[in-house]
Amino acid sequence: ICVMSLTALFYKYASKDGDASTMTKKEVDEMLKCEFPAFYEDKDGKMSMAEFMILISALSCVCKQLIDTLSQSK
């Protein structure tokens, strides 16, 4: 995933209620459902430690890419 597609992904779901600057809980929910179905469709509806780690790792990866991109653009 590159930063540009993440930005596009954000706007795709954030704009659903007409306000693209923020994501409501409903919009986040919809994004998870559509973009991360394996994560969303967990049978018990609870987050295990393993799932939590996967989510945090994915977010950390995204943050690193963002920081790398920003530092390169200086």
What is the residue type of 26?
A: K
Considering only 8, 17, 47, 48, the residue that binds Ca ion (CB under 5 A) is: 17
For Ca ion, which residue of 5, 7, 19, 59 counts as binding (CB under 5 A)?
Answer: 19
Candidate ranges 18-26, 39-47, 54-62, 63-71; the one touching Ca ion (CB under 5 A): 18-26
The interface region with Ca ion, picked from 3-11, 15-23, 42-50, 53-61 by CB under 5 A, is: 15-23
Q: At what angle do helices 25-35 and 3-14 cross, to 10 degrees?
A: 130
CA pseudo-torsion sign 13, 33, 35, 32: positive
Angle at 10 between CA 65 and CA 39, to 5 degrees: 80
Report the residue from 3, 9, 14, 32 that binds Ca ion according to the rule CB under 5 A: 14
Kindly list the residues in this chain that would bind Ca ion in the complex (CB under 5 A): 14, 17, 19
